[in-house]
Amino acid sequence: MLKTERVGDNLWRSTIEGTDRLNVTIAATIKEQLSEQLVNCGYNLVLDFQNIRFIDSTGIGVLISALKAARENNGNFQLANVNKEVFSLLSLMKLDKVFDFSK
């Protein structure tokens, strides 16, 4: 589900592939893979949302968990290429003030 590549000296980018949803159906798998990637990447990871068109509360929980793990380990977790519907939901929940967004 996660495809990860190095994009800098100390920065990695993961893309969720094979689905356009981050919901309860795949949340546990994504959470496990994200946790593993965060450790492998020294807690410096950009999660690319280019394929994601829908997120539910379980998916949001996965993102918050990854952000918390990165911050606890002096790392950086960012979201990239978030479409307007998903960004609107994150904004509604005031999470646009919590997460860092990149291109």
Per-residue pLDDT at 102: 87
Average pLDDT over residues 36-56: 96
Distances 16 to 19, 29, 31, 92 between C-alpha atoms, Å: 7, 11, 11, 23
pTM of the complete model = 0.93
Rounded Cα gap, residues 36 and 92, in angstroms:
29
User: Parallel, antiparallel, or unpaired: how do β-strands 11-16 and 2-8 relate?
Assistant: antiparallel
15 with 33: CB under 8 angstroms?
A: no
69 with 61: CB under 8 angstroms?
A: no
Whether 79 has a pLDDT exceeding 90, the answer reads: yes
Q: What is the mean pLDDT of the chain?
A: 95
Per-residue pLDDT at 46: 97
Average pLDDT over residues 26-55: 96
Homologous superfamily of the 2-102 domain (CATH): STAS domain (3.30.750.24)
